[in-house]
Chains A and B, each alone.
Chain A
Amino acid sequence: MSEKLITEEKRVFMTGNEVVAWAAVAAGAEIMYGYPITPQNEIMHYWTRLAPKYNRKFLQTEDELSAGFTTVGGVMAGRKAFTATAGPGNTLMQEPMSMAEAMRLPTVAIIQQRGGPSTATVIYSQQEVTMTTFGGNGEGLRIVYSTANHQELFDYTIKAFNVAWKYRFPTFVLGDGYQAKMRESLTVYDPEQRGIELVKPEPYVGKPGTPGVDREPGHYRNTYNVEEELYEVLQDYFKDYAKMAKEVAEYQAFDTEDADVIVLSHGVVSRGAKEAVEQLRKEGKKVGYFRPITLRPLPEDQLKELANKAKKLLIVESAQGQFAKLIKDVIYGSSAEVVPFFKPGVGITTEEIAAKANEIL
């Protein structure tokens, strides 16, 4: 039994779900809690194949509510715990993840989006953006990465554990059925060999010593009797989140300096958007590319700057404006015109994006 899954960097060919399982092992995840749902099933399948070899654990629960709450419990016991789900499973997962928001628990959840509402379809969709970014009740605070390819699925799954445990906010990696099922090459590596320090977990409960005598008692709450107390707790959370946001927000951009039209996209759709912008630039068209990698927190300063510099923002997504809603909230009052290009739950090609950008130039 080898202690390390990855002993040297290598190019491999994997499905996105397989990548997530490998990344979770590489990140030092100790236990996965899960309930099957397409298109995330193979994360569980591959994790359960790897887990016994590397002394990791797995618990299949009776539904996603339980999978979420057991992930919460695992984290409270000081384990790097994670779960994965999609669609209606993600809907059920929101209650436990909301509890994680209330108690500032570093849960990690991989969401492989499927079409909706309800059971709907299983492959191409970006229709879980609203739920994954703002699915909790009250003032839920969380971190959401949206990946576009297998290398990013690997990199950001590792990062999700680190960011969650460093800042203590529930963290989500948002993929989709295409990324989950598609096979693609990527480089797998041991993060520590690359100088990435893995943040060590620590228990919230069951710490040594007597509470109140040897240490402060742990008082982790998701309920308050007095409104003023909740208000006060939330103010501190908001401050922590605002401080964290500047350090965590990530994006990719090119050719935005002189662009009349900037194509905004995220996740799998940004693959087509990138190619479309590159093609149009070769034709001498003033088009730029911007893609938030974190959907929450968004790179707000950069978005506002773009929205006051470009003439038009073309927002492309495989949903009916869920991503656009996030962007419009940030850039409210800016001068650029927002042009939507929404195809909910279906694929969007490079050609379609290029044609739409050409039309509005």
Chain B
Amino acid sequence: MRPSLLFDKENDRVSDEIPWNSHDLVKDFELERLFNTMSAGDKELKEISMKIVLNPLRQLKTIGYRQKVIEDSLKNSDIIREIYNKFKKSVLQAKEHHFWMGSSNPEYILHESVSILSTYIDTIEYVRDTLSRNYNKFDSSGFRSFIEFMLKYFDSDYIAEIRRHLSNLNFPRGIRVRGKIGEGNSITDYMLLEPNPVKHSLSRISLRNRDRHYTYVLPERDEAGAQALSTMRRKAIIDVTNVLQDSAENVLVFINEIVKEIGFCVASINLHNAIESSSMPIVFPIPQDYDGAMEIRELCDISLGIKLQRKPVGNSFSTDKLNLMIITGANGGGKSTFLRSLGQAQLLMQSGLFISAEFAKIPIVYAVFTHFKRGEDTEMNKGKFDEELNRMNLIVENLMSGSLVCFNESFAATNSIEGSEIAKQIIDALINKKIKVFFVTHLYELAAAYYDQRENWMLFMRAHRIDIESPPFKIIEGKPLPTSYGEDLYNSIFH
């Protein structure tokens, strides 16, 4: 029994661990603002968003399936939010009871487990009813099968059965328990019986009546006796307590699973609203095979747009095949922003979300890695170049064929000839291993080397200086120029 709203088949699931390089991804693509927008202050939503966005889907059809679910969520945002809040509330309520679960007294624990499960069952019933009432408003197979799932597993009979158990476990007519005689004639082998047994036939009842019974009544004010009686009660209920406590725990895990799935829908609604209110374009990208064409029109950096509360400069290109993109050009020309917008688009698309663009066709990749120049602030015992190579070493350790690596000003911490040589060897190796490379660089030697032997799967993009051509921050296709960092610097200082 597993609801699958975000995945159309169990085996399409991807890891939900936060990947090892998440810190770099978040920092380099400025995803922090994106996640904050998605979670709108809800810590759990942030974690859910991170886990899903940072673990890309890897199949065209699962991305398509997810996109439909997100579309449905945007269409029915009120219902989605209501369900999410209802679940959240019941988990919160349960947490208050949970306080008692630390006790070692089974009577408390049983009582609290009954309360928690009652809350959960009420919530599950409520959600089932809300969704089934609105069944026709949902088009996606994800939501439809989710609703069917709720109806199948939580039909009225089942809910009634659970409620009967829960009320039984309050033992309104005393605890009925089978006993045996054990070592030293102690009373042992307690086996709890159903408190309200099914009525026996008449003959059985008369037989039972003939069965003599004997009663012990605890004297008043016999404190020790009351304690002893309570111990016997505990022995009678200990097994069922363990069962119920485990069940409460299991149901909570189940509910958390749903919360995670519905939560991602809520997060996507939040993100959608934020992009819209910043007047940025929104589109569901069309995922392509790894070797497929790539085309973007007016692709924007979402984090930047949300920060600015307006549409930032968008970029466009189109190519039939893209294995290597080298981005060169002026400082402050928007190269990093461009790389970020590409990285964001890649991850958002592969979690089934929309991106900010007018149109996009993007090939899927296996995983995304970043290798960005680190500022002086990083804790460094090693030399800067040493540190860069060490990070690259970590990436290579974790790389798989079919991935994308985004470099930003990497290997520039040494002289440019050496840096270029090392970078070129790395890039050649990655390309050879079927790994896509987007590389922002000042290393003219590097860019020129590829340009001189350019192939149809390479793309050269260039940031233009503010004083010439095109709008500022626009990145357009163009041959790398021997503009030097020094010249930029000179300009920035003397102008």
Query: Do A and B make up one complex?
Result: no
Residues of B within 8 A of A (CB): none
Give residues in A with beta carbon < 8 Å to B: none
